[in-house]
């Protein structure tokens, strides 16, 4: 919709952080056959016709790399228009474009002032067409009900500035003279209001009320002003409570996470338009609380649920639910790190770590299609063709002091994942030049050493390891990602018939693999940097089958046996799958189920309803661990990276994997453990629903008394296509589409 380029308008007022502009246009309608609104903004908009919201998208037009790319929306608004006079009202907030954003709390990142553009086309019954645009004379700016609106601090709203009145105009908009992105294309992805989150518990805490929603999530509140007994209500959001029952907010850093609503005669319910919070608890002040005053709603990118899992072990089940809510809370336009503090940025590393798990939980193809586009546009303005830790990038740049290997490598990991999960080769094709540009930057940095030895974060957030330690010991983890990049790129070049590229990157792959082994692995399989993340990433991305791999695996198992689990963001994704693949399923389950810190069940015992950023975010005495990892508080209770354990649930507990891209042929190979009780789950693939369930028979009296217990396990498998079913007793069944029942007898230690 290139025509939108010519209609951008902005407020005559100078820039003020948090400002919201409101524009009004009167529309005449008689004998309307069809009406269509095309609209976009440099910022965030919400359009209303006659007081009713247009569409259901939140934070439209969406977060993109505004220097080059902008999305627009098209709405059928026929049913919103009445005969005679109508009122189109557009609220314009600053959002990611020029509002306060990033952990540096920058403003005007992409431009100096928010702007909006729309075209309303009305087709009449007689065939004539009326067109209304945003830069016409009858468009006026009216008084805004917002004193402030921004992602981090929230909103300050005055109900006295009634939204349905036709207020006196306060000025005329001006033509926007700033830069408009070259590309304006229709939206791929939308954020929407999802579940209603009812209040679970109300507690009086001194002069304030604490509302507990029973679930940490990302969302917004809705206020019913008719139930407010004072002039003003103030809501503060937080993830947890202090040990004395007060709201804990120190981990929000510079984000206020507040809603301040000034009541007047307005009776229409208020819901924020330009912010969202990550919270489980709300502190209410300024009024007594009554039921129905406040309702909360989760919001996240619109995705179809495709994965299900249930088991009778309550803690294992809770962990599954926690990672689901971690995804919901952090799939908001981009793969954010967390939804509560002054960050909420599109992290490439966090994103790819959880991507496979997330693709089982939900249909994430459109989500990643949009993000890969953001990567390509951001990369165009990187002086070295590199991809950094956050996307969309803030603007032109290069490679910083921390090279952030392990983050930008999402450029190869994501297209490969999409190929296997959805059978779509197009993402490898579309991203090929982007992958190539990124890998060429890596090759330049490696030079003759064939390794990139620099500062990065490595297996980030290992327990007890700070930034300085990771920067000094990151290289075995960081360089494993380069090996994987070269493998994906050379394989893709071969598939696409790019012979010279295949040769170049295959040769470089072997050089880098050999250099990696020489630099980081001793002959006995011990890593020169002796920590679990180094072993895991070498096994995952570098080492091929052979004696050395067996030695490294043996060293890893020994390390785990002595020290327990000691992994960070990257190692955690792969530790349980690697153990299961190596025939160490019992050890994998031991790690899953162990209740000490670090461990997932530790979080469950502490009452977590989402996965945490740090293994030890909460201490055993209930106090928050505020030991700084860098220069600021870094304790998020809704960080989905460690939720990558969901991959183990689907691919190993249920045993569902693709044997061919897009599940055109399926592998069912469940790894069972009696401590889970009965298990069932499913994945709705592109070829249909795959279902697996298993349960152990109750042990007989004789077996209860025996030292070595024999137990029978019963399986039910439903597959929509040809499948290979491998049972724990080693028997392999090649089957066609259908439902199958099996049982086998196992020795349980």
Token reading at 404: 């952030």
Q: Is residue 500 in some structural domain? A: yes
Q: What is the pLDDT of residues 69-114, one digit of tens each?
A: 999 999 999 999 999 999 999 999 999 999 999 999 999 999 999 9
CATH number of the domain bearing residue 525:
1.50.10.10
Indicate if 184 and 200 belong to the same structural domain.
Answer: no
| Arithmetic mean of pLDDT, 445-470 | 94
Q: In whole angstroms, what is the distance from residue 219 CA to residue 196 CA?
A: 10
Q: Which of 161, 189, 217 is the last residue of a domain?
A: 189
Residue whose token pair is 């790019």: 498
Alpha-carbon dihedral sign for residues 177, 178, 182, 184: negative
The pLDDT confidence band at residue 264, using thresholds 50, 70 and 90, is: confident
Active-site residue, from 239, 343, 502, 647? 343
The pLDDT confidence band at residue 160, using thresholds 50, 70 and 90, is: confident
Q: What is the pLDDT of residues 305-351, one digit of tens each?
A: 999 999 999 999 999 999 999 999 999 999 999 999 999 999 999 99
Q: Do 330 and 338 contact (CB within 8 A), yes or no?
A: yes
416 burial level (CB within 10 Å; 0-12, 13-18, 19+)? buried
Residue whose token pair is 């000034």: 262
> Up-side HSE of residue 224: CA atoms within 13 Å toward CB?
10
Residue partners of 104: CB distance under 8 A and separation at least 6: none
The span from the first CA to the last CA of the chain, in angstroms, equals 66
CATH number of the domain bearing residue 327:
2.60.120.260
Indicate if 385 and 309 belong to the same structural domain.
Answer: no
| Arithmetic mean of pLDDT, 363-380 | 98
Residue whose token pair is 């524009």: 23
497 burial level (CB within 10 Å; 0-12, 13-18, 19+)? exposed
CA 362 to chain centre: 11
Q: Is residue 476 in some structural domain? A: yes
Q: Is residue 382 in some structural domain? A: yes
Token reading at 382: 């990187």
The DSSP code sequence of 640-694 is -GGGGGHHHIIIIIS-EEESSGGGSSEEE-----GGG-SEEEEEEETTEEEEEEE
Element spanning 319, H or E: helix 314-330
Indicate if 42 and 145 belong to the same structural domain.
Answer: yes
What does the pLDDT read at residue 168? 74
What residues form DSSP beta bridges with 298?
Answer: 219
Pairing of strands 258-262, 277-285: unpaired
Q: Do 566 and 463 contact (CB within 8 A), yes or no?
A: yes
The C-alpha torsion from 639 through 642 and 644 to 649, rounded to 10°, is: -120
Token reading at 747: 């020795």
Predicted confidence (pLDDT) at residue 536 exceeds the cutoff of 90: yes
Q: In whole angstroms, what is the distance from residue 373 CA to residue 436 CA?
A: 15
**319, 312, 308, 307: which is closest to 678 by C-alpha?**
312
What does the pLDDT read at residue 359? 98
Indicate if 666 and 633 belong to the same structural domain.
Answer: no
Q: Name the percent of the chain in helix, strand, coil, to the closest 5.
A: 30, 30, 40
Q: In whole angstroms, what is the distance from residue 172 CA to residue 20 CA?
A: 15
Q: How far is CA 637 from CA 203, 250, 313, 570, in A?
A: 22, 12, 23, 18
Secondary structure letter of residue 124 according to DSSP: E
Indicate if 204 and 184 belong to the same structural domain.
Answer: no
Q: Is residue 211 in some structural domain? A: yes
Instruction: Residue 398: count other Cβ atoms within 10 Å of its Cβ.
Output: 11
Q: At 551, give phi and psi (nearest 5°).
A: -65, -45
Rounded to the nearest 10 degrees, the angle between the axes of helix 499-520 and helix 475-495 is 160
| Arithmetic mean of pLDDT, 211-231 | 96
Indicate if 687 and 725 belong to the same structural domain.
Answer: yes
Number of domains composing the chain: 4
Q: At 213, give phi and psi (nearest 5°).
A: -90, 0
Q: Which of 149, 171, 189 is the last residue of a domain?
A: 189
Indicate if 170 and 67 belong to the same structural domain.
Answer: yes
735 burial level (CB within 10 Å; 0-12, 13-18, 19+)? middle
Q: Is residue 532 in some structural domain? A: yes
| Arithmetic mean of pLDDT, 123-145 | 94
| Arithmetic mean of pLDDT, 215-238 | 96
Q: Do 645 and 572 contact (CB within 8 A), yes or no?
A: yes
Token reading at 302: 């619109």
Q: Do 675 and 589 contact (CB within 8 A), yes or no?
A: yes
Q: Is the peptide bond before 694 cis (omega within 30 degrees of 0)?
A: no
Predicted confidence (pLDDT) at residue 631 exceeds the cutoff of 70: no
What does the pLDDT read at residue 748? 86
343 included as an active-site residue: yes
Q: Which of 155, 189, 223 is the last residue of a domain?
A: 189
Token reading at 549: 């791999």
What does the pLDDT read at residue 522? 98
Predicted confidence (pLDDT) at residue 151 exceeds the cutoff of 60: yes
Indicate if 322 and 443 belong to the same structural domain.
Answer: no
Q: Three-state SS for 574? A: helix
Question: What is the span of the domain harbouring residue 696?
Answer: 656-748
| Arithmetic mean of pLDDT, 423-431 | 97
Token reading at 650: 């689907």
503 included as an active-site residue: no
Instruction: Residue 162: count other Cβ atoms within 10 Å of its Cβ.
Output: 17
Ramachandran area for residue 625 (φ above 0: left; ψ -120 to 50: alpha; else beta): beta
Q: How far is CA 471 from CA 331, 352, 404, 476, in A?
A: 29, 21, 10, 11
Residue whose token pair is 């951008």: 8
What does the pLDDT read at residue 195? 97
Q: In whole angstroms, what is the distance from residue 233 CA to residue 231 CA?
A: 7
Active-site residue, from 155, 613, 647, 695? 613
Q: In whole angstroms, what is the distance from residue 505 CA to residue 511 CA?
A: 10
Indicate if 300 and 437 belong to the same structural domain.
Answer: no
Q: Is residue 589 in some structural domain? A: no
Alpha-carbon dihedral sign for residues 16, 22, 25, 26: negative
Q: Is residue 328 in some structural domain? A: yes
CATH number of the domain bearing residue 717:
2.60.420.10
What does the pLDDT read at residue 165? 57
Indicate if 14 and 152 belong to the same structural domain.
Answer: yes
What does the pLDDT read at residue 656? 98
Indicate if 459 and 474 belong to the same structural domain.
Answer: yes
What does the pLDDT read at residue 633? 75
What does the pLDDT read at residue 498? 98
What does the pLDDT read at residue 222? 97
Q: At 178, give phi and psi (nearest 5°).
A: -75, 180
Q: Is residue 603 in some structural domain? A: yes
Q: In whole angstroms, what is the distance from residue 718 CA to residue 688 CA?
A: 10
Q: In whole angstroms, what is the distance from residue 360 CA to residue 648 CA?
A: 11
Token reading at 631: 């220069």
Q: What is the pLDDT of residues 650-706, one digit of tens each?
A: 999 999 999 999 999 999 999 999 999 999 999 999 999 999 999 999 876 555 555
| Arithmetic mean of pLDDT, 589-615 | 97
What does the pLDDT read at residue 626? 85
Indicate if 335 and 355 belong to the same structural domain.
Answer: no
What does the pLDDT read at residue 166? 56
What does the pLDDT read at residue 700? 60
Strand order, beta sheet including 307-311: 307-311, 679-685, 688-696, 709-719, 738-748
Q: In whole angstroms, what is the distance from residue 250 CA to residue 626 CA?
A: 9
Q: Do 554 and 544 contact (CB within 8 A), yes or no?
A: no
Q: Do 423 and 664 contact (CB within 8 A), yes or no?
A: yes
What does the pLDDT read at residue 210? 98
């Amino acid at each position: 919709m290139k025509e939108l380029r010519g209609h951008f308008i902005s407020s005559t007022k100078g820039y003020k952080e948090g400002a919201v502009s409101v524009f009004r246009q009167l529309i005449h309608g008689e004998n309307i056959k069809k009406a269509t609104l095309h609209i976009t903004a440099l910022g965030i908009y919400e359009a209303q016709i006659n007081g009713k919201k247009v569409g259901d998208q939140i934070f439209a037009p969406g977060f993109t790399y505004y220097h080059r790319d902008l999305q627009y929306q098209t709405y059928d608004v026929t049913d919103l228009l009445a005969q005679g006079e109508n009122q189109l009202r557009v609220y314009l907030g600053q959002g990611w474009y020029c509002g306060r954003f990033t952990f540096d709390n920058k403003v005007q990142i992409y431009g100096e002032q928010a702007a909006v553009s729309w075209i309303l086309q009305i087709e009449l019954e007689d065939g004539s067409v009326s067109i209304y645009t945003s830069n016409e004379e009858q468009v006026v700016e009216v008084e805004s009900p917002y004193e402030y609106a921004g992602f981090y601090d929230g909103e300050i709203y005055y109900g006295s500035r009634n939204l349905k009145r036709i207020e006196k105009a306060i000025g005329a908009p001006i033509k926007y003279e700033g830069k408009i992105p070259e590309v304006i294309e229709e939206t791929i992805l939308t954020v929407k209001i999802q579940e209603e989150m009812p209040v679970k518990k109300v507690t009086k805490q001194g002069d304030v009320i604490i509302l507990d929603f029973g679930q940490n999530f990302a969302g917004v509140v809705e206020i019913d002003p008719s139930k407010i007994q004072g002039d003003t209500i103030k809501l503060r959001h937080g993830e947890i409570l202090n040990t004395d029952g007060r709201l804990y907010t120190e981990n929000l850093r510079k984000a206020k996470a507040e809603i301040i609503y000034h009541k007047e005669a307005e009776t229409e319910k208020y819901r924020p338009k330009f912010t969202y919070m990550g919270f489980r608890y709300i502190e209410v002040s300024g009024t007594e609380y009554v039921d129905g005053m406040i309702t909360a709603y989760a919001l996240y990118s619109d995705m179809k649920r495709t994965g299900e899992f249930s088991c009778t072990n309550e803690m294992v089940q809770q962990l599954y639910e926690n990672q689901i809510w971690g995804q919901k809370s952090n799939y908001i336009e981009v793969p954010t790190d967390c939804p509560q503090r002054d960050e909420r940025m599109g992290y490439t590393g966090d994103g790819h770590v959880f991507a496979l798990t997330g693709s089982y939980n939900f249909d994430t193809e459109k989500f990643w299609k949009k993000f890969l586009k953001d990567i390509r546009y951001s990369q165009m303005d990187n002086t070295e063709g590199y991809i950094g830790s956050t996307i969309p990038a803030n603007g032109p740049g290069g490679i910083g002091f921390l090279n952030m290997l392990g983050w930008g490598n999402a450029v190869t990991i994501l297209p490969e994942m999409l190929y296997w999960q959805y059978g779509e080769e197009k993402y490898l094709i579309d991203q090929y030049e982007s992958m190539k540009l990124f890998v060429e930057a890596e090759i330049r940095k490696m030079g003759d050493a064939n390794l990139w030895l620099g500062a990065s974060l490595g297996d980030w957030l290992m327990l007890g390891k700070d930034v300085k330690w990771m920067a000094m010991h990151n290289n075995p983890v960081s360089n494993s990602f380069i090996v994987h990049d070269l493998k994906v790129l050379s394989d893709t070049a071969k598939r696409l018939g790019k012979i010279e590229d295949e040769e170049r990157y295959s040769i470089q792959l072997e050089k880098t693999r050999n250099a990696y082994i020489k630099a980081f692995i001793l002959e006995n399989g011990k890593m020169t940097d002796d920590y679990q993340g180094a072993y895991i990433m070498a096994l995952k991305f570098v080492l091929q089958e052979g004696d050395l791999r067996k030695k490294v695996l043996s060293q890893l198992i020994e390390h785990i046996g002595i020290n327990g689990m000691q992994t960070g963001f990257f190692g955690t994704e792969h530790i349980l799958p690697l153990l299961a693949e190596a025939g160490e399923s019992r050890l994998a389950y031991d790690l899953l189920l162990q209740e000490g810190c670090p461990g997932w069940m530790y979080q469950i015992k502490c009452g977590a309803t989402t996965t945490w950023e740090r293994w030890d975010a909460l201490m055993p005495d209930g106090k928050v661990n505020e030991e700084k990892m860098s220069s600021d508080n870094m304790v998020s209770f809704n960080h989905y990276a460690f939720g990558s354990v969901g991959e183990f649930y689907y691919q190993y507990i249920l045993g569902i994997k693709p044997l061919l891209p897009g599940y055109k042929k399926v592998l069912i190979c469940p790894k069972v453990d009696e401590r889970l009780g009965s298990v069932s789950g499913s994945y709705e693939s592109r070829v249909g629903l795959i279902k697996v369930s298993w349960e152990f028979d109750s042990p007989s009296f004789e077996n209860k008394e025996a030292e070595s217990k024999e137990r029978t396990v019963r399986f039910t498998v439903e597959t929509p296509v040809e499948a290979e079913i491998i049972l724990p007793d080693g028997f392999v069944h090649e089957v066609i589409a259908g439902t199958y029942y099996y049982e086998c007898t196992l020795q349980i230690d």
